[in-house]
Amino acid sequence: MNATKLQEKNELKARISGYCSEKGLSKADLAVKAKVSEATLSAIENERWEKISDSMVKKLQSFLKSETAGNIYDTADFTAVVSLCDTARKYKLMIGLVGDTGTGKTTSLTAYSRRKNTYRLTFEKSMNPKQFFASLLSEMGIEPVGNINTMVNKAANGLNCKEEPLLVIDEAGKITHPVLLYLHDLREKTKGNCGIVLAGMPYFRDNLKKNAQRGKEGYSEFLRRINLWHTLGGLSASEARFVARSNGITEPEELRELSQKRRFGDLMNEIYLKRILNGQMEY
């Protein structure tokens, strides 16, 4: 094995150990969450590199990257997200967090989810209830087997056994009616021990209200159980300038232009393009 490959695999071992330590996960939990075998993680731990293929290294690197938020800036919105998550966790609340695309919801929640006993998943429109709870169980390091009722109970029992757990569901505005009904059951089974943060686009709250007003099954009950709502306000001009300067943008005209960006995602896209055009990074 050449020196570069060996360094890459040693770095992977260190990142896995650091991730497990941060999250309070065992290697068995991580194996389920990352969808690899315990034998693979054991081989990495014991540096039996001949058993670890380059494709497995790439798979685990990709997994760890998906669990990393990237650059974090201490904006008012980021501070608000951290405070909301802390509040939900401490007081076992269910909190709705809404903001337009690009306001940094996912980045902030990804950063927060590195904490112990915090479980984050993104709802996909194609998910049926069993797929949703299989994803949740995998996130918790629990084998996703059994029928839907078994899965709901496994998730509830797992959350109720943890100290101050927090469940974070991103793209909550896409949650379908069948999944919402089972999520309501999960909330009822865990409300004495688990906080929940539901993050979505502004239409998330509006759609819940509309369906509740129409008398659609479960919506009034679910909406009533959301204890608090918060709407992200976007970047201030000073925050946008600070982020731009932190990324090497110093030309006054460019800073004035970027200070008008209110959505974090838009700002970072513009910064990335300007750094390319200024020759600060390769295409």
Closest CA to 166 of 213, 71, 97, 253: 97
Helices 129-139 and 177-190, axial angle in degrees (round to 10) = 40
Q: What kind and span of H or E run contains 59?
A: helix 54-66
Secondary structure (3-state) at 2: coil
pLDDT of residue 277: 74
56 to 35, 44, 185, 218: CA distances (angstroms): 11, 11, 37, 43
Separation of CA 219 from chain center: 25
pLDDT of residue 281: 55
Q: What are phi and psi of 217, to 5 degrees?
A: -50, 125
pTM: predicted TM-score of the whole model, two decimal places: 0.86
Q: What is the mean pLDDT of each run of 10 residues along the chain (283 residues)?
A: 82 90 87 90 90 89 81 91 97 97 92 94 95 96 96 98 97 97 98 98 96 97 97 95 91 93 92 77 48
pLDDT of residue 283: 41
